[in-house]
Amino acid sequence: MIAPTAFLFNEEHEMVRKMAYDFTRKEVLPIIKEHDRAHTFPKQLLPKLANLGFLGVCLPVRYGGAGMDYISLGIVSEALEYGDSSVRETIAVHLALHSLPIFQWGTEEQKQRFLPGLASGEHIGCFGLTEPGAGSDVAGMASRARKDGGDYILNGEKMWITLSDVADRFLVFAKTDPEQGSRGISAFILERGWPGLTTGTIEGKMGVHASNTGWIAMQDVRVPVSHLLGEEGEGFKIAMSCLDNARYGVAAGAVGIIRACLDESVKYSFERKTFGKPIAEYQLIQQMIARMQQNLDAGELLVWKAGMLKNQGVRNTRETSMAKWFCTDAARQAADDAVQIHGAYGYSDEYNVERHLRNTKSAVIYEGTSQIHTLLQASYVLGWREDKALRCPMPAYDADAWTAEE
């Protein structure tokens, strides 16, 4: 398959694209419908994702990763969500929201200690920021961490946490200095099995049924100082840089949904006949299909623009926000149109478009709602927001360094 944006892709990118789409078609699509119906997480995919290098796709080889760039991360995200949002979410949370922050903010000792096991799939990581009473308002979190000798004592609860009951490593955020608001938040790496740390699963979700979503509870959890990520008080900055990574994956995944809906709709519009001719010949059907293609082309360009900036080590908060906002709204529209094209059959899970429509509703909420991104973009245009340099910027991609063994 040659991508419409092939002018950005080298031979390695094309190889990754083929490998990722082959994986989705051979491993994901044959099983995902039953997992969606049963609301079960497809754990059998984890070792297969690890064997292909997808769990550490853009981590350097010296830390156990595949040594690929951020464009490759976008390609993998798109291909996996072409199959189902739940599979792409696994990469987003495990890699973009857990492993990459350690790569960006961690000490060398932390990178050597944590990253190889995460890249190999020996350990699965998740991200705990949202709370029952704090979502978009991160500074409103109630979780607390107090120093006690050489440890921190954490108390609090995290909600809507992807992979909560699957992960054995948790990147969580708590206030070490509540009087400082967002400047008093710190980040910690927790491990399953520690006393006082419990997790559970949330039932009754509208969509993304094959993804594990739940909660994390911390009751006097003792965390060694060696598990503090970054410096005390840098948690908010770390969390926002994590979202730059996650939003990029969400945007690329949304492109995958648009492509899936387009492919399904084109196929069905030639198969389905009404009044003696294929519905593809009706202009209103053509209008919906053309809109999908328009949004697919525009969405791809926004995603790869953000990916190029990531490769260059340039802060890309505005660009990833724009890509996430546009692509998720466009994916929801594409899925809605796809169901409409399929008619009554589209309302049934006999066809994949019904699942995509349910899944796209979550995409316009997590990693910043569409309304939050609207305000964010306006603040840039009006000159009210200016991104400052981070103490630990995301490392620029260096092919020689990232593929070196040492």
Q: Which residues are catalytic?
A: 367
Dihedral (CA of 114, 164, 353, 305) sign: negative
Neighbours of 204 (CB within 10 A): 5
Q: Of the candidates 323, 331, 314, 306, which has an alpha carbon nearest to the alpha carbon of residue 377?
A: 323
Place of tokens 């900055």: 237
> In the structure encoding, which two tokens stand for residue 81, read together?
């969500």
Distances (CA, A) of 338 to 51, 85, 266, 297: 34, 16, 9, 17
**Cross-strand pairs, 278:** 273
Q: In three state form, how does the secondary structure of 46-70 look?
A: HHHHHHCCHHHCCCCHHHCCCCCCH
- Say if residues 76 and 16 touch (Cβ distance below 8 Å): yes
Instruction: Say if residues 99 and 122 touch (Cβ distance below 8 Å).
Output: no
What are the backbone dihedrals phi and psi of residue 193, each rounded to the nearest 5 degrees, phi first? 100, -15
At 211, list the tokens: 């993804």
Quick check: helix, strand or coil at residue 205? coil
Strands 197-201 and 228-229: unpaired
Burial 65-100 (b: 16+ CB within 10 A, else e): bbbbbbbbbbbbbbbbbbbbbbbbbbbbbbbbbbbb
Distance, in Å, from the CA atom of 186 to the CA atom of 188, rounded to the nearest integer, reads: 7
CA nearest neighbour of 209 among 344, 313, 362, 346? 362
Given the DSSP bridges, would you call strands 169-175 and 125-128 parallel, antiparallel or unpaired? parallel
CA nearest to 359, candidates 45, 79, 83, 29: 83
Give the pair of three-digit tokens for residue 179: 């009087």
